[in-house]
Amino acid sequence: MPATSKAQQKAAGAALSAKRGDTSKSELKGASREMYDSMSEKQLEEFAATKRKGLPAKKSGN
């Protein structure tokens, strides 16, 4: 499942970095911390690998 916004893609990248041990979990905030706790590394890779071109900055609330 790809990310639906640039913010979501960026948060997934931060969470993935922490999962891999490149950054500390304590540096994560908000959505990236929730993603770290609830998603597998493979799921985070899918979100983080989403191309940013054409994505909205933030997901619109429906």
pLDDT of residue 58: 84
In a domain, 61, yes or no: no
pLDDT of residue 54: 85
pTM: 0.85
In a domain, 1, yes or no: no
In a domain, 62, yes or no: no
Q: List, in order, residues 6 or more apart from 25 with CB less than 8 Å away.
A: 18, 33, 36
How confident is the chain (62 residues) per 10-residue block, as mean pLDDT? Answer: 89 96 95 95 94 84 61
In a domain, 60, yes or no: no
In a domain, 35, yes or no: yes
In a domain, 12, yes or no: yes
Count of the separate structural domains present in the chain? 1
Tell me how many degrees the CA angle 6-12-18 measures, rounded to the nearest 5: 145
Range of the domain at 40: 6-48
In a domain, 56, yes or no: no
pLDDT of residue 45: 95
